[in-house]
Each structure stands twice: as structure tokens, then as C-alpha cells.
Amino acid sequence: MPHGAALGIDFCGYRLQSPFILTSGPLSYGAEGMIRAHQAGCGAAVTKTIRLQPAVNPPRHMGTVGRDSLINCEKWSDIDRLQWYEQEIPQAAAAGVTVIASVGHTPQEARAIVEDAEKAGAHMIELVSYTEETLVPMLDYANAHVSIPVICKLSANWPDTVAAAQRCLEHGADGLCAIDSIGPTLKIDIRRARPEMESRDGYGWLTGEAIRPIALRINAEIARCHPELRSLYASGGCMRPEHAVEYLMAGAMGVGVCTAAILHGTAYIEKLCRGLSELLLELGYRSVEEVYRAALPNFSRKEAEGPAGFSFAPFRMDGSRLCIACRRCEQVCCYGARVLNFPAMELDRSRCRSCGLCADVCPTGALQIIQRAKASGSAR
């Protein structure tokens, strides 16, 4: 285990070794991938979504969007459900993986699959569907027929994800996952002048970095609406330990990982675990439990007023340079208010609109914003 803050969490009645959960996707195509994720430090692993018929995917079904996001038109599991029950789930469970069986996408399929998944040794069921209207009957069936915890995976493609969370909890969901990939979305292959995804409509689903702020807002809102909820896990663009901290602070108990592990390999989860453990300690938290929901009391109901205050430190305490004169602060100022005459930083207050971007882009922290400070003579 890494030296730093304690990463173990309690989730839906299970003790998980870390808050990271390998979410349903190509890395959980079978037991092998799930065992790798477990060995890398994942607290649990979700199977690729099991349906009545195995999927047949078009040849080109995953591509990058920028550096840290993906578009995909991959369908559900491409192996038969009997293989999941007879081999993949039992093998993964025997290797110590906390297995969450993803079951989609219709009530008929939930009826055909959930009990067999439980018998095969799954520790939890995760229900996933295209609409909220079909998810709730799946949940009702699963609740009545399995004794293991049932998680509902929520989509931001629905009109009101937070209301859907409420409905799932009213119908007895033991846990929630927010959110699924977002779409449909499009990427054009400009060399071939055609959609890159070879799905029927050329569209695909967006994951990774690009969707994190959407997922984070939804997780925070669900957590704020349900102060007692301790079994929400986030999914969407956790690429670095900092992102996991954001999710934990916003009220997610677990943090899903899919795109990051696809792009960097499953072993990257080890780095996420080590990084999270060290970062939490650096931020003053000794455990996930301590950081959990830490940001929620700080959501103000009132818009802040007054000009922003800034502090600028060109040098560190030991005299070495902190400001590297990259001039990002000048570049991003839409109003031409900032001028760096190293070591002096000038701010034309008559131009500055207090947007804060100059401080946000400072790569070293030499220029910082003092939140909600009143205008004062010392603010530059």
C-alpha cells in the first residue's frame, strides 16, 4: 500500500481497497482485465455490460478527442452471457476482485440476467439503460430478485439526471453511478472526409477529460440533495489524482476510471492510487473518509461581490525565481490589464474585470487570486 492517506472505503456494504472503480468498458472485457485492475489497486471492477446477445462492433470504434478524451461507438460485451456466468465472473471473484456485474439495457434483459449474475458470484449489480423510464423497472425487478446491492448508472443524456437519481433512490437503489458517456457526438476524419466512427450514423460517445466538469456538477448536486447517501460513485474524466480529490470533495465515495486506464494502461491505476494517497496527505487529509464531501459546505448560495484581490511573489523564500516570466497572465487577459515588468507585476485596475484567469493559468503559483478579498492598496 502507498505511504500516505488511507484509501480504503466502505461502499454498499463492502470494504474496498481504494475508491477507484474500473468502470464498464473495454478493460473489463473479461476476468483477465478485471484482475489486472484489482492488482493495480482498484477497489472494484465493473464488467463490460452483459446483454442477451453478444455485441458485434464496427471495425473503427474508438478514437481520441484531444489528448485526454475519447469518442467511441463500442457496444456492450462481445462475449456470451453464459461465459460471464461460468468463467469470467467466478474467475475474477476467486482472484479477489470485487465484481460489479453490469446488466443492460432493458427490463426483459434484467429479468434474464440479474439472478444468474448473482449466482455466478457477482458482489453487486449495476443496471444501465438508454432511458430512465426503462431503468426504473429494471431496478424494481432486480430489487425483488437478488439479495446483493443494486447500483443504477445514470446518464447526463437524460433531461434531468439529478431527478433520475432521486427516483432510483425512491425505488430502493443501493448505490448510484454518475455519469455514463455523453452523446451522441461526432469526429470527422479530415483526410478521408468522413466520420471517424464507423457506427451506422457515424456518431459516438464522449468520455474522459471533456466530460469531467459535467459529471462533477451532477455528482455534487446529487450529493447535496442526499446528505445521507454514502454509495454514490462518480464516472467521467478522472485522469489524475487531483480529479479524484475533486470528486471525493464533491460527495462521491468512489471514483470510476475508464478512459485514463485505456489511454495509459491499467498499471496507471497504481499511479492514481499512490498519487491520491500522497496528495490527500499534502492537502491535510489522512483518509478518503476525511476528504469526503469536504467541498459541500463551501457552496455559497450568494454570488460573490467586489473586485478580486491578487498576490504576486516573483521569488521563493530561498531567493530563487518563482515567476518564470512565461507571460501567460498577460496573454490571457482579454482587457490588456496585466503587464509583467519582472520582477514587478502591474495591474491596471481600470481595465481589470476580476475574471481571475490570469492567476488560474500561472503555472508556478507566483500569481494568485485572493478569494473574495476586498479591494485594497496592497492588491496588485
Task: Please report how close the Cβ of residue 288 comes to ligand FMN at its closest, in angstroms.
Answer: 18
Site size with ligand FMN, rule: CB under 6 A: 28
- From 21-29, 85-93, 154-162, 358-366, span contacting ligand FMN (CB under 6 A): 21-29
Nearest 5°: CA angle at 49, between 151 and 258? 80
- Helical spans, DSSP H, in the chain: 31-39, 81-83, 89-94, 107-120, 132-145, 161-170, 212-225, 241-249, 259-264, 268-282, 288-291, 328-331, 357-360
Q: Which of 4, 44, 40 is nearest to 21 (CA)?
A: 44
Query: Does residue 62 interact with ligand FMN by CB under 6 A?
Result: yes
Q: Whose Cβ is closer to ligand FMN: residue 222's or residue 329's?
A: 222
Task: Please report how close the Cβ of residue 313 comes to ligand FMN at its closest, in angstroms.
Answer: 36
Q: Which residues ranging from 124 to 183 are in contact with ligand FMN (CB under 6 A)?
A: 128, 153, 180-181
Task: Please report how close the Cβ of residue 363 comes to ligand FMN at its closest, in angstroms.
Answer: 25
Query: Does residue 185 interact with ligand FMN by CB under 6 A?
Result: no
Helix or strand (DSSP H, E) at 207: strand 204-208
Q: Whose Cβ is closer to ligand FMN: residue 7's or residue 177's?
A: 177
Interatomic CA distance for residues 345 and 351, integer angstroms: 15
Query: Does residue 241 interact with ligand FMN by CB under 6 A?
Result: no
Query: Does residue 266 interact with ligand FMN by CB under 6 A?
Result: no
Q: Whose Cβ is closer to ligand FMN: residue 122's or residue 329's?
A: 122
Q: Which of 373, 375, 371, 341 is nearest to 359 (CA)?
A: 371
Q: Whose Cβ is closer to ligand FMN: residue 272's or residue 333's?
A: 272
Number of alpha helices (DSSP H) and beta strands (DSSP E) in the chain:
13, 20
Q: Which residues ranging from 70 to 129 are in contact with ligand FMN (CB under 6 A)?
A: 70, 72, 74, 76, 102, 128
Q: Which of 208, 251, 254, 275 binds ligand FMN (CB under 6 A)?
A: 208
**Distances from the Cα of 241 to the Cα of 4, 96, 126, 244, 245, angstroms:** 13, 24, 25, 5, 6
Q: Which of 358, 367, 365 is nearest to 329 (CA)?
A: 358
Residues near ligand FMN (CB under 6 A) are 23-26, 48-49, 62, 70, 72, 74, 76, 102, 128, 153, 180-181, 207-208, 211, 235-238, 256-260
